[in-house]
Chain A
Amino acid sequence: MQRENISNAVDLVVDSLGHPSWLSDAGAIAFKCNDSLHGLRPDLDCNSNRSWLSFIATEDRDVAERHWSDRGLSTQIRMRVHLARTRKAPLLCELVANRLQASGHGAHWLFQALPQREETANGDELEQQITQLKGMLNFTPAYGWYASASGVLMWVGSRLASYLGIPETHALRIGQDIGNTWMSHLEFVHPDDHAGAVKDWAESLRTSTPHETRFRIPGANGIYRWFLIRAEPVFDRQGNVALWIGINVDIDDFLRADEELRSSKERLARATQIAAVSEMSASIAHEINQPLGAIAANSHAASTWLTANPPNLDRARVSIERIVRDSRAAAEVVQKMRSLFRKQAPSKQPVDILATAHQVVALLDSEIRKRAFRIELHIADGMPSVLVDAVQLQQVLINLITNAMDAMAGNEKRIVKLRALLREESVQIGVWDQGGGVADVERIFETFFTTKEKGMGIGLAVSRSIIEAHGGTLTVTNHNQGGAEFILCLPIPEEPWLLTEPNRNAKGNLAGKSPLGR
């Protein structure tokens, strides 16, 4: 009676357990199953003398059998196995069996199966992380989003969704894969920024490295604002990218302030430049007008001497000789003016082309963005340093790139290519545009020759004289893609370190200076 009571009490305990549980005798025959186990196996009949081993998924049955037969005198056995389920994948469980008080037929065992989370990389765990991530991103005071391993934008946070004007029911709010591609987010990018956005994203996806780019995103009101886009890859245990977590930062106000500052600086610089140029042209004019005035007076005098009656040939000859002398003087002024541009001896140092290209693009950054241009750098690998005045080379490149953008103002082409190649004994740098080309490839370099409405015709003349002062050449050719390419060639120094100290031999050892001393 007492044993029966105990037995009933155990049955009650088994029934009350929330996880799959059963009782087995020492011969592994299950004789009592709870509802939770029936939930996994509705077809199971616990009164048909079945071995509990049949509850275990086929692939784990050997393991289970070994644990069971090795139990010896232990009062508890534990194993990690899958329970078979009707019409469903086996369920991973921690199976704990406790030996109950001995009865007449030997020990009874209480089996309890505690379901475990599967530890596969892309399974429930990731799912759970994503759920956590969504919560976090929704609470972060920033525009959060995530993309799949292949770069497909999957989900946007509540703040970004309300900026974009996306309803709560949108696939991007739920995080559903609706078969989008890795470029489908371009829908939310300003058309002029597509090329850059695609290029930067493709690069990050290829290298699995942190992503950073800038583009304009349209708000629900249709107004575009500039954003800084940053994303980090999240790796799974195998080291593969599982997803990308991204944050967008609104930098529109910042850029605007920055741009205003820059443009006022530019205006100031330009005003100063204009003042300097007009001052210079006034001096040039004075220098030239002086002999011209003399020539005019002498011509008139000569003409009067010749038409007098009788003609005064001696006086006329003197006047004409002075005309010849003064016109030579005028020509000398022009010559002097040209050498004025070359007067400043460049301070030459070894300069890296790629670094200079980056500096130039950085200096022009606001101008380029303001005018929606894109500068493509094509710098060949292994370019040697050239011996130039870094600032002057920058000035020349800035001048050429600005000209290229001016040439394309008002047409749809928006790319300037800056490329550098290694030629036999020179480095060749080209600034390529699609601005319609140059009508006269020689005159364009003349001082005061300009094709621009507000141009002064100084930039290219100065650029050429700078490059020539470096022993190089600056030329222009038209190409068949509707534009021009300004090409500057700079000689490669044979031994750059020797050339940095030109007076080395003159100073000699007396000065005690090493050739690299400067």
Chain B
Amino acid sequence: MDNTTQPVVVVDDDTRMLESVDDLLASAGYTAKLFSSAEAFIEADVLQCIACLISDVGLPGMNGCELITVVKAQAPSLPIIMITGRETQELREQCMEAGALALFAKPFDPQEVLQVLQLAVAPQQT
């Protein structure tokens, strides 16, 4: 599965989540870049050279939904996968409208996340 050239970005303010998703991605053959806030990620200016963005919704400062809008403005085709600890129907619609590919509620099924990620990244490989 070691077929990705571009890294996957993970944004979450919870270090445990960052570590575990990093581990999960590594075990699946991806490389990950980790950020603990939306601002830090934007500042790093790596949008043009990443394969996918996985972000938490409830972030300090700029939240996940706002981040989708900002990212979509600069990189409309970048696939975005959102994760939340407080899932509501309203939030789901909000994320989808903003252009997210999927919204997973914690605790999510890692298998499902990997499947969506694979679909998201695959077209760019071809």
Residues of A near any B CB (own CB < 8 A): 282, 285-286, 289-302, 304-305, 308, 315, 318-319, 322, 325-326, 329
Task: Tell me if A294 and B26 are in contact (CB < 8 A).
Answer: no
Most buried by A among B26, B83, B110: B110
User: Using a CB-CB cutoff of 8 Å, which residues 15-44 of chain B contact chain A?
Assistant: 16-17, 19-21, 23-24, 26-28
Q: Are B105 and A298 in contact (CB under 8 A)?
A: no
Q: Which of B26, B27, B83 is A293 in contact with, Cβ under 8 Å?
A: B83
Interface status of B124 (Cβ within 8 A of chain A): no
- Bound form: Cα–Cα A319–B83 in Å: 20
User: B66 in the interface, Cβ–Cβ < 8 Å?
Assistant: no
CA distance A512 to B20 in the complex (A): 59
**Is A292 a contact partner of B106 (Cβ separation < 8 A)?**
yes
Bound complex: CA A289 to CA B17 (Å) = 11
Given contacts A293-B106, A296-B110, contact A322 B85 (CB under 8 A): no
In the complex, the answer to whether B24 meets A315 with C-beta atoms within 8 Å is: no
A294 touches B17 (CB 8 A): yes
Give the residue of B20, B23, B24, B58 whose beta carbon is less than 8 angstroms from that of A286: B58
State whether A290 touches B20 (Cβ < 8 A).
no
Also in contact, A286 and B27, with CB within 8 A (given A294-B14, A296-B107, A297-B21): no
The chain B residue sitting closest to A312, CB to CB, is B27
Can you name 23 A-B residue pairings with CB atoms under 8 Å? Answer: A282-B86, A285-B85, A289-B107, A290-B14, A290-B85, A290-B106, A291-B16, A292-B107, A293-B20, A293-B85, A293-B106, A293-B108, A294-B17, A296-B108, A296-B109, A297-B23, A298-B23, A298-B24, A299-B110, A302-B27, A322-B23, A326-B16, A329-B16
Contact between chains at A301 and B110 (CB < 8 Å): yes
Closest to A292 in B: B107
5 smallest CB-CB distances across A and B, nearest first, come from A300-B110, A293-B106, A304-B27, A292-B107, A297-B20
Which B90-120 residues sit within 8 Å CB-CB of chain A? 105-111, 113-114
The answer, among A282, A291, A293, A301, for a CB contact under 8 Å with B23, is: A301
Pick the contact of A315: B16, B23, B28 (CB < 8 A). Answer: B23
Q: A289-B106, A329-B16 are in contact. Are A297 and B24 (CB under 8 A)?
A: yes
Closest residue on chain B to residue A287 by CB atoms: B85
- In the complex, which residues of chain B have a beta carbon less than 8 angstroms from the beta carbon of A315? 23, 26-27
A284 to chain B, nearest CB (A): 11
Contact B16 A301 (CB under 8 A): no
Chain B residues within 8 Å of chain A by Cβ, number: 24
Q: Which residues of B contact A329 (CB under 8 A)?
A: 16
Residues of A close to B14: CB separation below 8 A: 290, 294
Q: How far is the CB of A184 from chain B (nearest CB, A)?
A: 65
Please indicate the chain B residues that have their CB under 8 angstroms from the CB of A298 in the complex: 20, 23-24
Other-chain residue from A285, A293, A308 in contact with B17 (beta carbon distance below 8 A): A293
Distance A296 CA – B106 CA, assembled complex (angstroms): 9
A286 to B12, CA, bound (A): 14
Assembled-state Cα–Cα distance A319/B21 (Å):
11
Q: CA of A297 to CA of B111 in the docked complex: distance in angstroms?
A: 9
Contact B105 A294 (CB under 8 A): no
Candidates A285, A297, A305, A322; contact of B110 at CB < 8 Å:
A297
Given contacts A286-B86, A322-B19, A329-B16, contact A293 B107 (CB under 8 A): yes
Per the bound structure, the CA–CA distance linking A256 and B10 in Å amounts to 61
Query: Does B24 lie within 8 Å of A289, measured CB to CB?
Result: no
A391 to B108, CA, bound (A): 43
Least distance between A431 CB and chain B CB atoms (Å): 38
Distance in Å from the Cβ of A288 to the closest Cβ of chain B?
9
Additional A-B contact list (13), CB under 8 Å, known A294-B17, A300-B110, A322-B16:
A286-B58, A286-B86, A292-B106, A293-B83, A296-B109, A297-B17, A297-B21, A297-B108, A297-B110, A301-B24, A304-B28, A319-B20, A329-B16
Most chain A Cβ neighbours within 10 Å, of B17, B111, B113: B17
What residues of chain A lie closer than 8 Å to B109, measured between beta carbons? 296
Q: How far is the CB of B60 from chain A (nearest CB, A)?
A: 14
B16 contacts A294, CB within 8 Å? yes
Residues from 47 to 74 in B contacting A, C-beta threshold 8 Å: 58
Asked whether, in the complex, the Cβ of B107 is within 8 Å of the Cβ of A295, the reply is: yes
CA distance A305 to B24 in the complex (A): 9
Q: Are A301 and B108 in contact (CB under 8 A)?
A: no
Least CB distance, B12 to chain A, in whole angstroms: 9
Bound CA–CA A301/B16 (angstroms)? 14
A301 to B107, CA, bound (A): 15
* B85, A294: Cβ atoms closer than 8 Å: no
Cβ of B26 to closest chain A Cβ, rounded Å: 7
Give which listed residue, A289, A305, A318, contacts B85 with CB less than 8 A.
A289
Report the nearest A residue to B113, measured CB to CB: A297
In the assembled complex, the Cα of A479 lies from the Cα of B124 at a distance in Å of 72
Shortest Cβ gap from A5 to chain B (Å): 124
Q: Which residues of B contact A318 (CB under 8 A)?
A: 23
| Distance A301 CA – B24 CA, assembled complex (angstroms) | 4
Find out whether the CB atom of B85 lies under 8 angstroms from the CB atom of A286.
Answer: yes
